[in-house]
Amino acid sequence: MSELKQILTDSLGRKHSYLRISLTEKCNLRCTYCMPAEGVSLSPRSDIMNTDEIYEIAKVFVKHGVDKIRLTGGEPLIRKDFEEVIKQLSRLNVKLSITTNAILVDRYIEVFKKYGLNDINVSLDTLKEDKFKFITRRDQFKKAFENILLLIDEGFNVKVNIVLIKGFNDDEIKDFIELTKNLSVSIRFIEFMPFDGNAWDKEKLVTQNEILSQVKDIFGNSSIIKLENESNFIARRFKIKNYKGEFGIISTVSNPFCDSCNRIRLTANGKIKNCLFSSKEMNLLKLLRNGESLEDSILIAMHKKKAIRAGMSSFEKFSNPKKHSKNRSMITIGG
Ligand code: SAM
Ligand code: SF4
């Protein structure tokens, strides 16, 4: 058994137990930081994993130690067979979760409950309707916000992801944290990350230190309570004294958390990515369709995993757009 699990341990001894599966490269929103203005070239439909293939590939990972699967995309809920996908995956001994833009969640409340999907991350970058329309290029703020409240009301464990962009939404940090006063929700500020075609610029970055200093100015140092990090954490967690919910900061750019990384990604066209920022991929779907074993390729992919951000350990390297030109746009990776 111990030998079985080793294919998910990389050369630095990091054990990978968390698989993120992208269900689609398509989306019903067009967030500027995720999808390039000119769109992305999509994989041919025949190259996208079908329900059975998702299950078969996931089963191999679970056999080797994956105990948590997150469904993402693109927007995972636009897949017509979403219920069938989750029904199949729920047969595996694994904790299921999802990241969604919330536009369609009201249609899936009962499905989530039926298959034990309780951890739901939603993306919402602003609390203002006009800004939502600008950043997502779609007029859907009310639907997204109402659905987030619905999820909280229905008792799901909800985390709200906010990509902070200087001059766009960094003036809303206070308003987002105020949501945690009466709502049992976790707000997570994410540092804007560079991907192919997303016009990233270091001037647009709002760092962990800047966020914390703003929070201290607004709420006062003595009101901020530092919470324990979760194991394999990505968000440093805090709460405001006497507030019901909490907030966190995901500082991939200014302060990466790669030493405790336990994440592997499977793209919608069946390729394993050992890191969000790596352009090196291996086609597991092709192997599955040829009736070949996936294990050797998974082992090779894991052993090629670099210590920090696909080898871009310094801020200088990481902030050079050329270093990201061979990687995919976020929408086709699966965040
Ligand atoms: N459509 C779903 C959603 O928006 O939640 C799931 C896919 S989306 C690619 C997953 C997460 O990646 C979202 O929380 C989104 O905010 C985040 N994301 C996308 N592009 C990003 C970027 N350039 N920097 C930081 N986070 C990003
Ligand atoms: Fe779609 Fe999510 Fe990307 Fe926005 S962040 S374009 S909702 S995949």
pLDDT at residue 3, as a whole number: 52
pLDDT at residue 319, as a whole number: 85
CA of 27 to the centre of ligand 2 (A): 6
Residue nearest to atom 13 of ligand 1 (CA): 123
Q: Which residues of the chain have pLDDT under 50?
A: 1-2
Strands 157-164 and 18-22 come out as unpaired
From 33, 35, 198, 333, the mutation candidate for ligand 2 (largest count of ligand atoms within 8 A of CB) is 35
Are 105 and 142 in contact by the 8 Å Cβ rule? The answer is: no
Rounded to whole angstroms, the Cα distance separating 192 from 329 reads: 13
pLDDT at residue 121, as a whole number: 98
Ligand 2 contact, 31 CB (< 6 A): yes
Q: Is 21 left (phi over 0), alpha (psi -120 to 50) or beta?
A: beta
pLDDT at residue 328, as a whole number: 74
CA of 123 to the centre of ligand 1 (A): 7
Are 120 and 151 in contact by the 8 Å Cβ rule? The answer is: yes
Rounded to whole angstroms, the Cα distance separating 197 from 203 reads: 16
Atom of ligand 1 lying closest to residue 22 CA: 7
Ligand 2 contact, 333 CB (< 6 A): no
Strands of the sheet with 95-100, listed across from one edge: 224-226, 235-240, 246-250, 186-191, 157-164, 119-123, 95-100, 68-72, 18-22, 263-266, 271-273, 281-283
Residue nearest to atom 11 of ligand 1 (CA): 335
Question: In 3-state terms, what secondary structure has residue 23?
Answer: coil
From 329, 331, 333, the mutation candidate for ligand 2 (largest count of ligand atoms within 8 A of CB) is 331
- Nearest-ligand number for the alpha carbon of 27: 2
How high does pLDDT run on average in the chain?
A: 94
Rounded to whole angstroms, the Cα distance separating 286 from 297 reads: 11
pLDDT at residue 57, as a whole number: 98
CA of 91 to the centre of ligand 1 (A): 27
Atom of ligand 2 lying closest to residue 27 CA: 1
Atom of ligand 2 lying closest to residue 101 CA: 7
Rounded to whole angstroms, the Cα distance separating 226 from 244 reads: 14
Domain ranges of the chain: 15-333
Rounded to whole angstroms, the Cα distance separating 229 from 238 reads: 9
CA atoms within 13 A on the CB side of 312: 25
Q: Is domain 15-333 classified as CATH 3.40.50.720? A: no
pLDDT at residue 327, as a whole number: 81
Element at 162 (helix H, strand E): strand 157-164
CA of 335 to the centre of ligand 2 (A): 9
Ligand 2 contact, 331 CB (< 6 A): yes
- Nearest-ligand number for the alpha carbon of 76: 1
Rounded to whole angstroms, the Cα distance separating 179 from 185 reads: 8
- In terms of DSSP H, where are the helices of 49-190? 51-63, 82-89, 109-114, 129-136, 141-153, 173-179
pLDDT at residue 2, as a whole number: 44
Ligand 2 contact, 190 CB (< 6 A): no
- Nearest-ligand number for the alpha carbon of 198: 1
- Nearest-ligand number for the alpha carbon of 164: 1
pLDDT at residue 1, as a whole number: 45
Ligand 2 contact, 163 CB (< 6 A): no
Ligand 2 contact, 76 CB (< 6 A): no
Please report, for residues 173, 181, 208, the alpha-carbon distance to residue 219 in angstroms, rounded to integers and kept in the order given.
11, 12, 16
Ligand 2 contact, 74 CB (< 6 A): yes
- Nearest-ligand number for the alpha carbon of 324: 1
pTM greater than 0.85 (yes/no) = yes
Atom of ligand 1 lying closest to residue 73 CA: 7
